[in-house]
Amino acid sequence: MNIRKLLIYLFISLVLLVGCDKKDTNPPSNGDQLPIGSITDMTSYFYTEQNTTWEYQGTGNEYASFTRKVLHRENNLVQITDNNGGTIMAMVFRLSPEEIVKIYAEAEFYDDRNILTAQPNRQEIILKSPLQVGAQWQDEIFKSEVISIDEKIEVPAGKYNDVVKIKRTSLKDKDSGENYEYYAKGVGLVMREYISGDFKVTSQLKAMAKQ
């Protein structure tokens, strides 16, 4: 797989994105206790205020740098675009405290039209409750595993504590390497890595603007 094809594949498949400040109004009952050291509100790690933008600085490939923006939000749906200089990817996510799911993706998207009601064309689980070390889930594209919920990382935008680290393995291309995504509360995606042997592509948060 050549580098350009690989990066376009990664750009379409990944997706980082970033938490609302909503609280879970339906905590588990005493008969349904969650393990200590788990995170239950996924929206707090996937910020989605309209017109928020994130700028990511990339290394390892010309398409690793990209800009993310929230275009539209209605009820529990949010439309986000990623622009890496080679293409603009539009995505629609379904939000709930229990899970964040990417339900639509469209490449070569060069306008701001609202596509929140577009017919879903995928079911890709980005985050799933409860987030605890060792937790796993699987969808039609990736197998995901929680590696850590207390990572400390430093990116151009600053230092972040209690970062959630997710390992995502492609089910469609067994030789595609490993993807790691890092989410910070109230910010969302702060870093992602693609590693295949000695080849590594990294995107790190450089700036976040809430308008």
Q: Which tens digits make up the pLDDT trace of 70-124?
A: 999 999 999 999 999 999 999 999 999 999 999 999 999 999 999 999 999 999 9
Q: Is residue 77 part of a domain?
A: yes
pLDDT of residue 11: 53
DSSP character for 131? B
Domain count, the chain: 1
pLDDT of residue 4: 53
pLDDT of residue 19: 37
Q: Give CA–CA dist 56/40, Å, rounded.
A: 27
Helix residue ranges, H only, the chain: 3-13
Q: Is residue 55 part of a domain?
A: yes
Q: Is residue 60 part of a domain?
A: yes
CA dihedral in degrees (140, 143, 148, 152; nearest 10)?
Answer: -70
Q: Is residue 191 part of a domain?
A: yes
pLDDT of residue 210: 86
Is the pLDDT score of 209 beyond 80?
Answer: yes
Is the pLDDT score of 24 beyond 80?
Answer: no
| Residue of 53 and 24 predicted with greater confidence | 53
Q: Give CA–CA dist 195/10, Å, rounded.
A: 11
Average pLDDT of the chain to the nearest whole number: 87
DSSP character for 39? B
Q: Is residue 27 part of a domain?
A: no
Q: Is residue 10 part of a domain?
A: yes
Under the banding of pLDDT at 50, 70 and 90, the label for residue 18 is very low
Q: Which domain holds residue 121?
A: 3-22+36-206
Sequence-distant (6+) residues with CB within 8 A of 2 are none
Q: Is residue 211 part of a domain?
A: no
Q: Give CA–CA dist 70/80, Å, rounded.
A: 5
Q: What number is the average pLDDT over the span 134-148?
A: 96
CB 197 within 8 A of CB 59: no
Q: Is residue 30 part of a domain?
A: no
Encode pLDDT of 143-191 as tens digits. Answer: 999 999 999 999 999 999 999 999 999 998 877 899 999 999 999 999 9
CATH code of residue 87: 2.40.360
pLDDT of residue 172: 86
Under the banding of pLDDT at 50, 70 and 90, the label for residue 2 is low
